[in-house]
C-alpha cells in the first residue's frame, strides 16, 4: 500500500507569496460576488443587476429571492 500522507511543509511549498495572494483575490472580487454582497445590494433598493436563479423547478417552488428570475440550468443551451 502506498503512503499518500501529505505533510504540512509539503503543502506550504506551493503557497503563493502574500502579495500575490492578495492581488489574486482582489482581482476575483472584481468579477465575482457572494450572497452577502447580493443581499446588501438588494436591500439598497436598486442593485444594478438582475438576479437569475438557476436551480430546479422544485427548489424554486420551495422559496426564492423576491424579484429573481427563474431560469433552470438545464434549460440554458450549452455554449451560451
**Per residue in 27-76, pLDDT tens?**
888 888 888 888 899 999 888 899 999 999 999 999 999 889 999 988 88
pLDDT digits (tens, 9 = 90+) for 51-60: 999 999 999 9
Query: Does residue 20 have a pLDDT over 70?
Result: yes
Cα-based distances in Å from 26 to 29, 35, 48, 50: 5, 17, 21, 23
Amino acid at each position: 500500500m502506498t503512503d499518500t500522507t501529505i505533510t504540512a511543509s509539503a503543502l506550504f511549498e506551493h503557497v503563493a507569496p502574500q502579495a500575490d495572494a492578495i492581488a489574486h483575490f482582489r482581482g476575483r472580487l472584481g468579477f465575482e460576488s457572494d450572497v452577502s454582497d447580493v443581499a446588501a445590494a438588494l436591500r439598497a433598493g436598486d442593485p444594478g443587476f438582475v438576479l437569475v436563479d438557476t436551480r430546479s423547478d422544485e427548489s424554486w417552488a420551495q422559496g426564492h429571492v423576491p424579484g429573481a428570475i427563474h431560469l433552470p440550468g438545464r434549460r440554458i443551451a450549452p455554449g451560451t
